[in-house]
A and B are shown apart, each in its own frame.
Chain A
Amino acid sequence: MFFALTDEQQAFASTVTEFLADRFDLEAVRGVVEDPDGDGHPLTLWKGLADQGALAVLVPEEHDGLGLGLVDAQVVARALGAGVAPGPWLATVLAAEAVRIAGSAEQQSRWLPALAAGETVGIVALRGEGGAWDGSGITVDANSAEGESTSRLNGSASPVDYPAVAGLIVVAATDASGTPGLYLVEAGASGLTVRDQRTYDGTARVGAVEFADTPAEPLANGDAAAVRALLARGAVLNAADLVGVAREALTRTVAYDRDRNQFGVPVGSFQALKHALADLHVAVTMAEHAVLFAAHALDTDDEGAAIAVAVAGSKAADAAWNATGAMIQFFGGIGFTWEHEAHFFYKRARRRAPLFGSAAEHREALFVATAL
């Protein structure tokens, strides 16, 4: 029995955390937050992550990747969440996962090395406005003319992370028979439109992607199962980011409440705060366990993986939601100001919580998977 990170995995986490502390701290994050017209994709950060192998973690070694698993990838996601780091890391990792899972050998050779090196930014467009995150919420149609290898996409996907800087878009679309599949669209393709949707989370850039007879290349094995596999991986890595946000929000709040004096004593000595923070510590710890377990379940094709993903998705979303709300409350008035960093954590948690399935959607999936 070994339910923990290995020494190597802990070292990997430290490398990313220390890199962010040295090279992309909260002042740098603030620079991105306060420049909403910028692309939200600082190249110093991107290159640094690429140098550390953070983009190559899931890519097989034969395609210049590290050939590691989701347990390793969630280490990076947690560190980026804790640092409220901007950039299309998750989007690019998921695009590479799509190509790894469903691409032909030729598609893999063409895209994986570039995605692993950070030379190409990849993104995923898996759901349409108002839709569910289970493959049923796709609002893009794919049509293939007789004898042609290229399909034509029509429709839209929203919200999509970092569409403006993407070189490669992995699109979930349904074909004429209603079957979901995965398609590759390259930047600059005809009929491709990106509209910035101006998210309140300044640590990301989000847009709607529209397709009008846009040429797309089907991923060779991009069937409904591949769409579900990609959504599950997205759910776990997004949950890992949320867990990182939650832990850091809690740690910062505890540190502040140890020192902040009112009524002549540290406010952290009051049980009203202590008990709330203790409950949050338990909740965040359980969410960390759940993400780790779900990542391992997917890595090992465990038969209970769908249940594990639902548990992790709901627990992490709730933990991040609650920890970042508490951060503002327990910093008091200063935590409500623009100058303070609490709103970076709060907004990131709330933007990400519904992605790849909200807490409630994950609970419904969990109930269905176990009871019906």
Chain B
Amino acid sequence: MDLTYTAEEEQFRQELRTWLAENIPTEWTVPGYWATLSDTESFEKRREWEARKTAAGFSGIQWPVEYGGRGGTPAMKAIYDEETVRAHAPQTVNVLGLTFLAPTIMAIGTEKQKAEIIGPMLRNEVIWCQGFSEPGAGSDLAAVATRGVLDGDEYVVNGQKIWTTNAMHGDKIFTIVRTEAGSEKHKGLSMLLIDMDQPGVEARPLKQMSGASEFGEVFFTDARVKAEDCLGEIGQGWRTAMLLLSFERGASGVGQYTEFRRQYDEIVAEAKRFGRADDPVARQELARCLVELECLRYHAMHILTQVEQGRDLGSESSMTKLQWSEAFQDLWEAFEHVLGPEATLAAPRPDVDLSPFHAQDHWSRSVTIWGGSSQVQRNIVAERVLGLPR
């Protein structure tokens, strides 16, 4: 066991911490600040800030220098995740492009795709959406029905995608399309990179139970995309999609722990304010949540070790997803249980605003669904890790 970082990694932490301290406005650190802005205001502010961060050399931490990245270590990425959360930096506006699309392009993209896509993405000049789920294809992703028909050197695409993050702000969308007529399940699919700024593409916001609209729907009506704008080979879209999703394993539990732990401390502070922190039942439930969050932190260090050793995590990522998503949801259940009726009020007292808590509370219901539901993850752990029969 050695839970320290190298001198070079700690040096990076100091540089980043200094830059963040100088470039995060104080008002951003107030809980609930971002919820006071309109969706568009919030998006544009984050987009502009992130472009400055990129210019300062604090984006693409682990990406090779040739792609405009920093060429850092996996530990530096973990440090980056921890420090940005600690400094109240906003979440990236290009999360799906940066997390999933970019590493996939580096792995299997054409030279043209590498040259044209990655740089503008890193600078937030092009915002990417992910077009995977459909009304009839959720957990059963291979049931996608959006179809593409070849017309000269272009595909003509018709269909609908749903749960599309940043649908209203997206410039382009990497989309699983059935390009082989009559094909079924995993066969005959292609990953097409479709321009959203065209008459055949319409995005509509989808209002969530929290009232926010992080997701949307995207409708394709004779939308056109060049056949060369396919990531991986035509007909190999399932393989491309699986490779792409495998990059979620880079998602850092260190950053998540830092964020959730702050939320835990905020909930405990409210429990004290409302006289609930002396109740042994409340204390037990809160402590149960903290146990799971601490385990998430240890697990993150274990995963980082595996990555540094060059091991393939395989289906272990399903365990990571289960741990963080269930722990996060349980934390917000505890908020409701512990605070009781006060938890349901945005203004239980004139000087207390619990609406940022409600936003997280209601958001927490989504995390055990998207990115592979908890039920799908349990199947994966049972079958691929424990070896139970299908």
Contacts and interface: CB of A to CB of B under 8 A. Distances in A.
Contact of A371 (B4, B268, B299, B388): B268
Contacts of A278: 322, 377-379, 381-382, 385-386
Interface stretch (B130-138, B198-206, B276-284, B352-360): B276-284
Which secondary structure dominates where chain B touches chain A?
helix
Nearest to B1: A296
Interface string A251-273: 00010011000000110110101
Contacts of B283: 363-364, 367, 371
A314 B385 contact: no
Interface string B272-291: 10000100100110111011
Question: Interface size class for chain B?
Answer: 35 or more
A1 B375 CA distance: 32
B378 A4 contact: no
B75 interface: yes
Interface string B367-390: 000000001011101110111111
Given A274-B378, A275-B382, A3 B302 contact: yes
8 closest residue pairs by CB, A with B: A274-B382, A363-B287, A286-B295, A278-B381, A289-B298, A3-B301, A278-B378, A268-B388
A277 B383 CA distance: 10
B286 A371 contact: yes
B258 interface: no
A59 to B, nearest CB: 20
Contacts of A371: 268, 272, 277, 283, 286
A269 B3 contact: no
B299 A314 contact: no
B322 to A, nearest CB: 5
A122 B277 CA distance: 42
Contacts of A3: 1, 3, 298, 301-302, 304-305
A265 B1 contact: no
B360 to A, nearest CB: 19
Contacts of B3: 1-3, 296
A285 interface: yes
Contacts of A266: 388-389
B8 interface: no
Nearest to A269: B389
Contacts of A273: 388
Contacts of B295: 286-287, 289-290, 311, 315
A281 B386 contact: yes
Contact of B319 (A285, A308, A372): A285
B292 interface: yes
B33 interface: no
A371 to B, nearest CB: 5
A282 interface: yes
A266 B299 CA distance: 32
8 contacts: A269-B389, A278-B379, A282-B319, A285-B319, A286-B292, A308-B294, A315-B295, A364-B284
A367 B298 CA distance: 19
A363 B284 contact: yes
A367 B293 CA distance: 13
A366 B1 contact: no
A1 B4 contact: yes
B28 interface: no
Interface of A: 1-4, 71, 254, 257-258, 265-266, 268-269, 271, 273-275, 277-279, 281-282, 285-287, 289-290, 292-293, 295-296, 299, 307-308, 311, 314-315, 360, 363-364, 366-367, 370-372
Interface in B77-101: 78
A282 B1 contact: no
A254 B268 CA distance: 39
B382 A293 contact: no
A274 B379 contact: yes
Nearest to B288: A363
Given A266-B389, A364-B280, A311 B294 contact: yes
Given A257-B388, A258-B387, A266-B389, A289 B290 contact: no
B43 to A, nearest CB: 35
Contacts of B379: 271, 274-275, 278
B19 interface: no
B308 interface: yes
B2 A2 contact: yes
A3 B5 CA distance: 12
Interface string B234-258: 0000000000000000000000000
Given A1-B2, A4-B1, A364-B284, A274 B388 contact: yes
Contacts of B319: 281-282, 285
A257 B280 CA distance: 39
A5 B195 CA distance: 49
A2 B309 CA distance: 9
B4 A277 contact: no
